[in-house]
């Protein structure tokens, strides 16, 4: 992997080179085929390669291009990605808006102001500041963990705008250090290499502690999953806490044990965390200690959930509450059938381990698995388990991972609170 940015490189010089490249060629023009402008008129930010009729100019990876319909009417301004099926990701639908520092400053300020309510209400020091397309910045994820900011640049356009973005972040968050975690496979589709490293003066440590809803959580922005942590499950962790009092809880796919934190803090009788990763379980143990919850009967089991649930079934173990938050099972449409089988299997096993009227919190973070299909899979699992499920709550990603009306694909994390009789 390429280590992103040597700290010794002078930023002013790098910015100068970047601006020179940026303005040394006029923006190219993309002309769409007849009636392929419909999704753009609905403000959806993606243009697929098949929709393009011709290109005037010679745009390079990530360049800003202007998009026109077949009658040469201006439609949008976006970033060109020659290797991706999504050939252009739209930055703006306003012809007068340049894609410059002011553009990014406005987007960041409005995203921050939309989040103030959640931040204050949850006492949050860790939150997603920019959720890509849903916040009008396609391909850009920005998470803030205390005074560490993590950028994940997923698309050619996002990559191209790296230094403009960093300069604006430095201006708006002068006390923060900025780190890049662009170590994701989707960059390959854009013709980009994985990149990680500091974008500002390096700090000795990439670890910090964040607060959410009164609990403290260890996060490591270099070693943790995603940009360090699963911020998106924050609200569902609170929900789990609401159900946990006096219950024996089996927290499957626990990662660093944050569902367990909320359950233990809300006086669960017992919490068992299960994960295949020992390092995740070690951090889970640290999180329990960090919150002085060592005396709360919390344990940690390194195991494959699929096997452990079967073993518990044989042992006739029973729980009051089970949490199933598996990793993404579906990366492409071709995997959907297999994924449904996987979801059905673990949900069936969990239901068989629940006492009558037990609570199952079950999740799918696969965007391709629609909410209605997920509910059907859980219903099928109930039939196989010879149990009846009453869906008592629907859960989704937290509000700092919003779903824009222009971009329904932003809805990826679904959860169901099931009462299993």
The alpha helices in 147-294, defined as continuous H runs, are 156-160, 162-172, 186-189, 234-243, 258-265, 278-290
> Which of the following is catalytic: 252, 340, 365, 418?
365
Choose among 161, 153, 152, 191: nearest CA to 21: 161
Residue 68 or 343 having the CB closest to ligand SAH: 343
Q: What is the DSSP string of 51-117?
A: GEEEEES---TT-EEEEE-TT--EEEEEEE-TTSSEEEEEEES-TT--SSHHHHHHHHHHHHHHHHH
Q: How far is the CB of 276 from ligand SAH (least distance, A)?
A: 4
**Smaller CB separation from ligand SAH, 378 or 395:** 395
Shortest Å, Cβ 107 to ligand SAH: 28
Across the strands, what pairs with 393?
417
The distance in angstroms from the start CA to the end CA of the chain is: 50
Nearest to 150 by CA among 175, 181, 124, 119: 181
Kindly list the residues in this chain that would bind ligand SAH in the complex (CB under 6 A).
230, 233, 253-256, 258-259, 274-277, 280, 304-306, 325, 327
Place of tokens 């406005």: 106
Shortest Cβ 374–ligand SAH spacing (Å):
16
If we measure between CA atoms, which residue out of 228, 281, 229, 290 comes closest to residue 257?
A: 281
Nearer to ligand SAH, 206 or 218 (CB): 218
Residue position matching structure tokens 């006739």:
316
Query: What DSSP string runs through 200-238?
Result: SS--S--EEEEEETTEEEEEETTTSSTTSS-GGGHHHHH
Say how far apart CA 14 and CA 268 lie, in whole Å. 54
CB of 407 to ligand SAH, least distance (A): 24
**Residue 208 is a catalytic residue:** no
**Sign of the C-alpha dihedral, residues 365, 369, 371, 375?**
negative
- Name which of 60, 62, 72 is nearest 30 in CA terms: 72
**What span, in angstroms and rounded, lies between the C-alpha atoms of 375 and 361?**
12
Quick one: 81 or 258, whose CB is closer to ligand SAH?
Answer: 258
Q: How far is the CB of 334 from ligand SAH (least distance, A)?
A: 20
Nearest-approach distance from CB 351 to ligand SAH, in angstroms: 18
- Residue 396: alpha-carbon gap to chain centroid: 12
Nearer to ligand SAH, 219 or 377 (CB): 219
CA 277 – CA 413 distance, rounded (Å): 22
Shortest reach from residue 280's CB to ligand SAH, in Å: 5
Q: How far is the CB of 223 from ligand SAH (least distance, A)?
A: 12
197: left (phi over 0), alpha (psi -120 to 50) or beta: left
Lookup: tokens for 55: 């290109």
* C-beta of 195 vs 305, nearer to ligand SAH: 305
103 vs 230 by CB, closer to ligand SAH: 230
Q: Which is nearer to ligand SAH, 177 or 366 (CB)?
A: 366
Q: How far is CA 249 from the centre of its chain?
A: 26
**Active centre residues (catalytic):** 365
């Amino acid at each position: 992997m390429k280590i992103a940015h040597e700290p010794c490189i002078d930023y002013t010089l790098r910015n100068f080179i970047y601006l020179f490249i940026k303005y040394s060629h006029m923006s190219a023009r993309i002309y769409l085929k007849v009636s392929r402008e419909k999704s753009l008129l609905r403000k959806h930010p993606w243009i697929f390669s098949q929709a393009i009729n011709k290109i005037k100019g010679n745009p390079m990876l990530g360049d800003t291009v202007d998009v026109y319909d077949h009658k040469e009417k201006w439609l949008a301004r976006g970033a060109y990605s020659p290797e991706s099926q999504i050939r252009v990701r739209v930055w703006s639908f306003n012809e007068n808006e340049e894609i410059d520092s002011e553009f990014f400053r406005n987007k960041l300020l409005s995203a921050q102001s939309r989040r103030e309510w959640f931040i204050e209400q949850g006492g949050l020091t860790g939150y997603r500041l920019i959720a890509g397309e849903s916040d009008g910045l396609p391909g850009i994820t920005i998470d803030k963990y205390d005074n560490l900011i993590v950028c994940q640049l997923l698309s050619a356009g996002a990559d191209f705008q790296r230094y403009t973005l960093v300069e604006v972040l430095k201006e708006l968050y002068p006390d923060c250090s900025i780190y890049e975690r662009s170590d994701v496979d989707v960059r390959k589709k854009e013709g980009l290499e994985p990149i990680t490293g500091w974008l500002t003066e390096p700090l000795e440590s990439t670890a910090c502690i964040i607060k959410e809803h009164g609990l403290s959580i260890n996060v490591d922005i270099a070693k943790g999953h995603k940009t360090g942590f699963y911020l998106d499950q924050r609200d569902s962790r609170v929900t789990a806490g609401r159900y946990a009092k006096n219950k024996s809880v089996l927290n499957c796919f626990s990662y660093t044990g944050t569902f367990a934190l909320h359950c233990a803090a809300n006086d669960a009788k017992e919490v068992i965390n299960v994960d295949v990763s020992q390092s995740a379980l070690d951090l889970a143990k640290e999180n329990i200690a960090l919150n002085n919850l060592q005396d709360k009967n919390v344990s940690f089991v390194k195991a494959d959930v699929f096997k452990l649930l079967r073993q518990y079934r044989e042992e006739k173990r029973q729980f009051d509450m089970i949490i199933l938050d598996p990793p993404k099972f579906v990366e492409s449409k071709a995997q959907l059938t297999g994924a449904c089988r996987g979801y059905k299997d673990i949900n069936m096993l969990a239901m068989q381990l629940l006492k009558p009227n037990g609570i199952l919190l079950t999740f799918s973070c696969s965007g391709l698995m629609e909410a209605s299909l997920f509910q059907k899979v859980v219903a099928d699992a109930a039939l196989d388990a010879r149990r009846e499920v009453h869906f008592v709550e629907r859960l989704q990603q937290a509000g700092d991972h919003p779903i824009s009306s222009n971009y329904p694909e932003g809805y990826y994390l679904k959860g169901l609170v099931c009462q299993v009789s």
